[in-house]
Amino acid sequence: MRRRFSLIILSAVALATVVLHFSNHAPAVADETFILVQSTTSTQNSGLFDHVLPLFTQKTGIEVRVVAVGTGQAIKNAANGDGDVLLVHAKAAEEAFVAKGDGVSRADLMYNDFVIVGPADDPAGVAGMNNAIVALKKIAAAKARFASRGDDSGTHKKEVALWKAAGVDPTLESGSWYRETGSGMGATLNAAVGMGAYAMTDRATWISFANKADFKIQVEGDEALFNQYGVILVNPAKHPNVKADLGQAFIDWLLGSEGQAAIAAYKIDGQQLFFPNAKQ
């Protein structure tokens, strides 16, 4: 009996030791004071988030975690409830997102513009042009290489619209002079530089892009290249896991004077990358 009692005691001590070991080494319960933002590669790659998010977290204690993908994918992710806030740049798609009940409301946040970049030798002769549609027609006529993201991002959506306005379907030439990378903006620019191809990019990513080689902006200044960003709270009525209070606090900060000032203050080599335009 005494031996049996001793075994029970030893077993209890061993179990307590195991429990203590795992309690000391197991990861702590995740802090729920964070939000997930579905956003674009341009806001991430340009360094904007690295500039503004610490300011918001310092003020509120709310951590912001960003999933940076193409706008089309970001919208799909948010529609699946995988995120609390959507911050992208394809206004028609954003409005459709809200109309379907996936978002609460949409607000203008900031803007910049798109540019067409290309090699210094400019094989299509588009340097200095400020008409994107005419420039694309010239690129197609010259069969000059053009690198497209081809990923349903906001940049790709704009590019597709411009090709359509130019009366050109470049996908018919896919794999010859028209190359679809299926990648983000930085990777597509690297591909363009590597093959000596034109590409359309948001200006912020271009300014922050390090591998320019002899490439330069060839086409800019067209109103058709305007690039508006919007911010939306994912609808908690449709997706109960959404942290509506925390997400709205982030949106309110971005749209308010502090967030707008933080966006305006972000510059590289003296160049402002984004221009705040929220309605105060």
Residue type, 171: T
8-state DSSP, 184: -
Task: Flag whether 6 is in a domain.
Answer: no
CB-based burial of residue 100 (10 Å sphere; 0-12 exposed, 13-18 middle, 19+ buried)?
exposed
Answer whether 75's CB lies under 8 Å from 86's CB: yes
Q: How many helices (H) and strands (E) does the chain have?
A: 11, 12
Give the model's pLDDT for residue 30.
Answer: 45
Instruction: Name the nearest CA neighbour of 51 among 245, 254, 249, 248.
Output: 254
Distances, alpha carbon 184 to alpha carbons 41, 73, 214, in Å: 6, 11, 21
138 & 207 share domain: yes
117 & 212 share domain: yes
Cβ count near 231 (within 10 Å): 25
Alpha carbons 22 and 152: distance in angstroms, whole number = 46
Helix (H, G, I), strand (E, B) or coil at 41: helix
Place of tokens 């200006």: 203
Task: Flag whether 250 is in a domain.
Answer: yes
8-state DSSP, 61: -
Instruction: Name the nearest CA neighbour of 269 among 207, 217, 209, 186.
Output: 207
CATH code at 212? 3.40.190.10
Task: Flag whether 23 is in a domain.
Answer: no
Q: How many domains does the chain have?
A: 2
Cβ count near 73 (within 10 Å): 18
Give the model's pLDDT for residue 31.
Answer: 56
Task: Flag whether 200 is in a domain.
Answer: yes
Give the model's pLDDT for residue 113.
Answer: 98
Task: Flag whether 18 is in a domain.
Answer: no
Answer whether 97's CB lies under 8 Å from 103's CB: yes
Model pLDDT for residues 8-59, shown as the tens digit of each residue: 443 443 434 433 343 344 333 345 799 999 999 999 989 999 999 999 999 9
- Low-confidence residues of the chain, pLDDT below 70? 1-31
79 & 174 share domain: no
Task: Flag whether 98 is in a domain.
Answer: yes
117 & 215 share domain: yes
Q: Which domain holds residue 165?
A: 113-225
Confidence (pTM) = 0.85
Give the model's pLDDT for residue 21.
Answer: 41
Helix (H, G, I), strand (E, B) or coil at 115: strand
107 & 241 share domain: yes
Instruction: Name the nearest CA neighbour of 102 among 236, 217, 211.
Output: 236
Give the model's pLDDT for residue 32.
Answer: 75
Task: Flag whether 192 is in a domain.
Answer: yes
59 & 131 share domain: no
